[in-house]
Structure 1
Amino acid sequence: MKQLQQQQEAEAEALPLELVEKILLFLPVKSLIRFRCVSKQWLSLISDSRFAKLHSDYADAARTNKNTRVLYLSSKVSEARCVDVEASIICDYALQLPLSCRDRRLDILGSSRGLMLLGIHGNTNGTKLLLWNPVTGSHKAVPHPPEDPNVPWMGFHDAQHIWGGFGYDESTHDYFVVAGWVGGTHCTLRWVYFSVRTNSWKTIECDRHPKSVISDDDRSLFYKGAIHWLAVKIADYKHVIVAFDLAGENLSMISLPADIQVFSGERKLVVLGGCLGISYLNRAGKTEIFIMKEYKVESSWAKLDIVLPPGYYDINPVCFTNGGELVGTKNNKLVKVSDDGASAESQTINWNYGNMVVFTESLLSFSEDIGGTGEDERK
């Protein structure tokens, strides 16, 4: 056995390392994880943070992304399950959660570059925040925001108007966790963000920003360098999108199309066809989708024409496949509708409602990608 292993390593190292790297950059993450066992040389190459970043950049630049997955949290057992949307959605598989997440109620609060922000409930000090790579298993705990006697931290499950988000700033190569909540005697609004690079929290000044509160959901969507939430303006109770730009460290609001200011049923932010969008059920109980063709250009909102088969008129969109098929949920089913709306594939899933996210598999970790700051556990 040892002789065979030595022979395999010698064969693997026969090619120039530069050529090996170029070949490996085009492979999916799942294959790369297996190939770490080929030789010590390959293990060193694939485990290097420089290679992880190059691989992520190649995936982002690809016209089609063969690594796109949908991840959801199970409601029956303490596990996360994953589906390759380009293959049959019937074939899903389990991903191992960090030990600190097991047998706890979890929420997926945000996702960026294959990494996720989890809210872990049931702790004595309120909700614990954890950054996690579901493919490699690397994870990092985020400390609670600093105490403020006027606006005490209550955790993401103890108050209605609390939200969180997660994103990556390319200009500083830093990951940010954003938290906002309303608290205190005078229901004060507080926004803070956590920098993984500096391992510290900072207050976001929002005195000039019209006060708004998040409605229904504390989850976020990362798009175009900003974290987005659906919100309601206190002044006139109109629905808007609140965006926190990571590079500029500022908050802004995006108005929705006038036609969908009044909702019936669930609504959510989505990215479809590379555009920021919003889906909701109209008064007839059918799904409608609006997309913003030009980011932050409110006049570019346009209704997306989609054809849905009978029985799936109220599908909750999640993403499009590379072939134009719509993937979404309907009650306790994950559904994939053909691009012409003529047929649908579905499977029953036991999922923690609302805890589903689209992500791209990556080898990135929270410390290695930004120069080794902070603890990156792999237990």
Structure 2
Amino acid sequence: MATSMQDSSRLSIPNLPPELINEILLRLPVKSLLRLTCVSKSWLALISNHAFMKTHLRLSANKEDNSHHKLMLRHNHPKYPLKGCSFGSLLYESVTEASDLDCLVKNGHSLRIVGSVNGLICLSGGANELLLWNPAIGKYKKFPDYKPRLRSTIRCVTYGFGFDEFRDDYKVVGIFRFYEYDSLDHVEVGIYSLSSDSWRSKDAFPGEMRFVYPSKFLYGKVHWATTAGIISIDMADEKWGKIEQPSCVERGFTFKIGVLGNDLSVLCYDHTCADVWVMKEYGVKESWTRMYTIKFPIDVERYVLVRSFFMSNKGEILLVFGSTLMIYDPKGNSIKFAKVTNFGACNGSEIYLESLVCPMSKKEQNQSSIQ
């Protein structure tokens, strides 16, 4: 009997087929994968592989419980202006804890969340401070300064962040305004390419208008709400375009743009309610459809400025007001409030997906690993 037990203790666990290991790893969260890169060189090579990263990204984005999605919040704390919490917890748990995120921007008071694509967050600290950050893997890259052609002092700048799928390249669009004696002198447009790690000037600009943060990336284009309507720029051919607004905007409602599911969306709101419009066929004005009307409870009427809105994979809509996070469930036409600890008034927010995508050029990636 003793011999039999000794023999069984010497039995090794059979090796799993590589295909099965790959399928298991693809469904793990990023933090677990980072730890598993220490298991062996072969696992490190697999998890660092570009094809693995892309598949992991796709599977994470489509998880029904949004367990790989995070909400980043910008608030007024001088030392820790960024906080993060689980998007899934906001939706399905009674209380969610927000944790401090290391602020990589020196000028925290002027920090803006430009946008998020594939787990990468673009942050702006003003006219001359811009960086790309992946909070999940703890890596970031500071961009070189844009060098204006005619002026050395930038008085106003608007950024947009997107992805050029054809060239596998992340890009930032900068709209730089230069003023002289409080009057607009001229506008320059610069486009930063991560693959080349450089800025280049773009001459064409659709005209003077006020851009409203934040921008939204959809269908390969970066979109802004502006005083002249919804303006877009294609990340592949870098051409400007204009999207016709829904009729609610024409009636004078305040509006914000967003992405609900895979569609461009607009939230038109006043003090008491908000209409959610979705463009069912991109670029076709007649396809704007009012999907929901959300009536605000009386205790949030004072929060006139809706900072942002997001949709879960199950269809719930998160509305972010000052320090209030409200979740609307279209199926039951019901509203609940998400309770978040360690959190104050919000000055900006963004949903991002935890991913393995590295915020560096391929040349820089060859000099380091994801660890």
Give, as a single letter, the amino acid of the residue that structure 2 aligns with 1:144.
Answer: D
Task: Name the larger-Rg structure.
Answer: 2
- How far residue 332 of structure 1 moved from its aligned partner, in angstroms, is 0.8
> What root-mean-square deviation, in Å, do the aligned CA atoms of Structure 1 and Structure 2 show?
3.2
Cα separation, 1, equivalents of 2:367 and 2:192: 15
What corresponds to 1:35 in structure 2?
36
Task: Identify the match of residue 279 of structure 1 among 267, 275, 278.
Answer: 267
Aligned to 2:6: none
Aligned equivalent of 1:237: none
Q: 1:367 is matched by which residue type in structure 2?
A: M
3-state SS, counterpart of residue 366 of structure 1:
coil
Aligned residue identity for 1:328: L
Gapped regions of structure 2 (runs ≥ 5): 1-8
Q: Which amino acid aligns with 1:290?
A: W
1:78 pairs, out of 71, 80, 96, with 80
Question: How far 1:374 sits from its partner (Å)?
Answer: 9.3
CA drift at 1:48: 3.7
Query: Structure 1 pair 320/180, CA: closer, same or farther in 2 (3 Å)?
Result: same
CA distance in 2, matches of 1:307, 1:364: 36
User: Structure 1's 343 and 104: CA in aligned 2 closer, same or farther, altered over 3 A?
Assistant: closer
Q: Give the one of 232, 246, 268 matched to 1:243.
A: 232
User: Is 1:358 aligned to residue 338 of structure 2?
Assistant: no
Aligned residues: 348
Alpha-carbon spacing, 1:41–1:119, altered in 2? closer, same or farther (3 Å): same
- Contact 2:273/2:295 (8 A) holds in 1: no
Q: Does 1:222 align with 2:217?
A: yes
Tell me: CA distance 1:198–1:20, structure 2 relative to 1, closer, same or farther (3 Å): same
Please, which of 241, 244, 268 is the counterpart of residue 255 of structure 1? 244
Which residue is equivalent to 2:4? none
Cα separation, partners in 2 of 1:75 and 1:98, compared to 1, 3 Å:
closer
Note if contact 2:281-2:287 (Cα within 8 Å) is conserved in structure 1: yes
1:285 positional shift: 3.3
In structure 1, runs of 5+ residues without a counterpart are 1-6, 234-239
CA distance in 2, matches of 1:268, 1:127: 26
Is 1:346 equivalent to 2:338 in the alignment? yes
Provide the rounded CA distance (Å) in 2 between the counterparts of 1:241 and 1:376: 40
What TM-score results when the alignment is normalised by the length of structure 1? Answer: 0.80
Instruction: Name the CA distance, whole Å, in 2 between partners of 1:118 and 1:337.
Output: 28
In 2, Cα distance between the equivalents of 1:251 and 1:47?
36
Identity of counterpart residues, as a percentage?
25
The two structures have a TM-score, normalised by structure 2, of 0.81
User: 1:202: Cα distance to partner?
Assistant: 1.7
CA 1:212–1:350: 2 relative to 1, 3 Å: farther
Alignment of 1:1-379 (within 5 A): 14-60=15-61, 65-76=66-77, 77-87=79-89, 88=93, 90-94=95-99, 96-97=101-102, 99=104, 101=106, 105-121=110-126, 126-149=127-150, 151-152=151-152, 154=154, 158-159=155-156, 162-185=157-180, 187-206=185-204, 209=206, 211-215=207-211, 217-233=212-228, 240-265=229-254, 267-282=255-270, 285-308=272-295, 310-311=297-298, 316=306, 318-339=309-330, 340-347=332-339, 350-351=343-344, 353-367=346-360, 370=362, 372=364
Q: Which moved more, 1:224-233 or 1:329-338?
A: 329-338
